[in-house]
Amino acid sequence: MKKLILSLVATTALVAPATAEMLELEKDELTFGFIKLTDMAPLAVAYEQGYFLDEGLFVTLEAQANWKVLLDGVIGGQLDGAHMLAGQPLAATIGYGTEAHIITPFSMDLNGNGITVSNEVWAEMKPNIPVMDDGRPQHPISAEALAPVVEKYRAEGKPFNMGMVFPVSTHNYELRYWLAAGGLNPGYYSPENVTGQIGADVFLSVTPPPQMPATLEAGTIHGYCVGEPWNQQAVFKGIGVPVITDYELWKNNPEKVFGITAEFAEEYPNTTLAVTKALIRAAMWLDENDNANRPEAVEILSRPEYVGADYEVIANSMTGTFEYEKGDKREVPDFNVFFRYNATYPFYSDAVWYLTQMRRWGQIPEAKADSWYDEVAKSVYKPEIYLQAARLLVEEGLADEADFPWDSDGYKAPTPAEDIIDGIPFDGRAPNAYLESLPIGLKGDQKVVGTEVQG
């Protein structure tokens, strides 16, 4: 495991004089964890551009082996905070898996994931996909094109296996969403059976992100959903084809968050503000001037202590393009968004969407009132901390007043039908009505008993 230890002497010689005003910090030496994915970029940039140091923070960044190790590190105090799956603070707070009150004052990004299938599966899907005038596949590609392939496997007595990164990951829920939108059941969870494969047409299992391409190449899985650079890596290695990005699945969907314990925020409020300020500045830098800094960001991320993939692989998506089949590179300027569209604001409605997906697939085994979703969202997502940090940056002349949603009640306007692949709109204020609108998944008082959905 690589460690990045910030040296005051080495760094102050390289960084321009700070214009940030120092808060009175309760703790100034911090260790943050991350997984080797491009969307950990705000942490790397805050470190490399000296934004942590500007706030008086001496930070160590440590790559973690997997999401569980990372979460345990934050709960146990070995890590002060971490780049997290958005579902992790929510799941921990409601007691699904390891129980702990984790909060987020900062959402790290929008979009950034893709779904990739093996070359063999792609060859079988392709006849089911409409083509454009130039002969290339028409996007977005529906899982309806995959359904006959899955049926063929079933007829041959073979399971159709796909990988995702963690049971409460965006990747799990996005892959499930895509499959269900195409008429394929990705399976349910129950308190007695946490495989998530009850009644499944497609069997999903956990694979750590950096291991996805090798697992696909070995034939253990037939496809996967993961963040970059591990979809582009499959293209470069010639072992798979990304069929859809999450931007095509749900335009500008929320991705990772920065997670800390509620106790940390309570005990170190000024330190929490200082960290949030540094991360906001990093996100601004990543998106400013139409992504002009992205090549530099790619160089940083390609270093072994961060993501450690080749520059070309990371640049393939990070700089505004995305390659599907080899040579089929298309413009996707918003594949990675770090600051635009209020990407860093921790919206309650984002939290509610994750909770609805947990309920949809049985991780939340029983029905909950709309008010419960609102209460849990507000206990985990902390826009008040975010806006306090943003206000300080504006007062210091480091951020523009117009870039922040000061008057928001924490809920986004409903996501319109045209922005989601199944054409079903999402309103975070009405989670149960949303669940009722989804054709596959638990709704109302339904629950999973044994191998059946009852109710």
Tens place of pLDDT for every residue, the chain, 455 residues? 434 444 333 333 344 444 667 899 999 999 999 999 999 999 999 999 999 999 999 999 999 999 999 999 999 999 999 999 999 999 999 999 999 999 999 999 999 999 999 999 999 999 999 999 999 999 999 999 999 999 999 999 999 999 999 999 999 999 999 999 999 999 999 999 999 999 999 999 999 888 999 999 999 999 999 999 999 999 999 999 999 999 999 999 999 999 999 999 999 999 999 999 999 999 999 999 999 999 999 999 999 999 999 999 999 999 999 999 999 999 999 999 999 999 999 999 999 999 999 999 999 999 999 999 999 999 999 999 999 999 999 999 999 999 999 999 999 999 999 999 999 999 999 999 999 999 999 999 999 999 999 99
State the pLDDT at residue 19: 62
φ/ψ of residue 16, rounded to 5: -65, 155
With CA atoms as reference, report the closest residue to 199 among 437, 362, 424, 358.
362
Provide the H-helix boundaries in 242-398.
Answer: 246-249, 262-267, 269-291, 294-301, 311-318, 348-360, 370-380, 383-395
Q: How far apart are CA 359 and CA 168, in angstroms?
A: 11
- The H or E element containing residue 93 is helix 87-94
Which residue do the tokens 């069929």 mark? 243
Q: How far apart are CA 161 and CA 117, in angstroms?
A: 10
- pLDDT for res 180: 98
Find the helix packing angle between 41-48 and 294-301, rounded to 10°. Answer: 100
Residue 166, pLDDT score: 95
Phi-psi region of 36 (alpha: psi -120 to 50; beta: other; left: phi over 0): beta
pLDDT at 33: 98
Cβ count near 434 (within 10 Å) = 23
- Tell me the Ramachandran region of residue 338: left when phi exceeds 0, alpha when psi lies from -120 to 50, beta otherwise: alpha
Query: Could you give the 3-state DSSP secondary structure of residue 66?
Result: coil
CA 28 vs. chain centroid, Å, equals 28
Please report where in the chains the tokens 């339904």 appear, as a residue.
Answer: 446
pLDDT value of position 149: 98
CB 291 within 8 A of CB 312: no
The pTM (predicted TM-score) of the whole model is: 0.94
Report the C-alpha gap between 144 and 178 in whole angstroms.
9
Count the Cβ atoms, other than its own, within 10 Å of residue 65. Answer: 13
What distance in Å separates the CA atoms of residue 186 and residue 197, rounded to the nearest whole number?
7
Calpha distance 182→214 (Å, rounded) = 27
Q: Where does residue 28 rank: exposed (0-12), middle (13-18), buried (19+ CB within 10 A)?
A: middle
**Per-residue pLDDT at 6:** 42
**Longest CA span, the chain:** 67
- The amino acid present at 413, given as its one-letter code, is A
The CA distance from 87 to 107, in Å, is 12
Where are the extended beta strands (E) located within 10-77? 29-34, 58-63
Per-residue model confidence (pLDDT) at position 363: 98
SS3 for 244? strand
420: left (phi over 0), alpha (psi -120 to 50) or beta: beta
Q: Which residues pair with 226 in a beta bridge?
A: 114
H or E element, residue 361: none
Q: Give residue 22's pLDDT.
A: 87
Q: Which helix (H) or strand (E) holds 175?
A: helix 170-181
Specify the pLDDT at position 5: 44
* pLDDT score, position 7: 38
Token digits of residue 323: 């390659």
CB 27 within 8 A of CB 273: no
- Give yes or no for a contact between 301 and 63, defined as CB atoms under 8 angstroms apart: no
Enumerate domains of the chain plus CATH numbers.
Answer: 3-111+255-322+334-346+382-403 (3.40.190.10), 113-253 (3.40.190.10)
Q: Which long-range contacts (CB under 8 A, 24 or more apart) does 119-124 make?
A: 119/238, 119/239, 119/240, 119/241, 120/222, 121/146, 121/149, 121/222, 121/223, 122/240, 122/241, 122/243, 122/325, 124/148, 124/149, 124/152
Residues 385 and 387: their CA atoms lie apart, in Å, by 6
Non-local (6+) Cβ contacts of 378 within 8 A are: 348, 410
Instruction: Give the whole-angstrom CA distance, residue 2 versus residue 246.
Output: 30
Q: For 168, phi and psi rounded to 5 degrees? A: -110, 30
Return the pLDDT at 21: 75
Q: Residue 223: which H helix or E strand, with range? A: strand 223-227
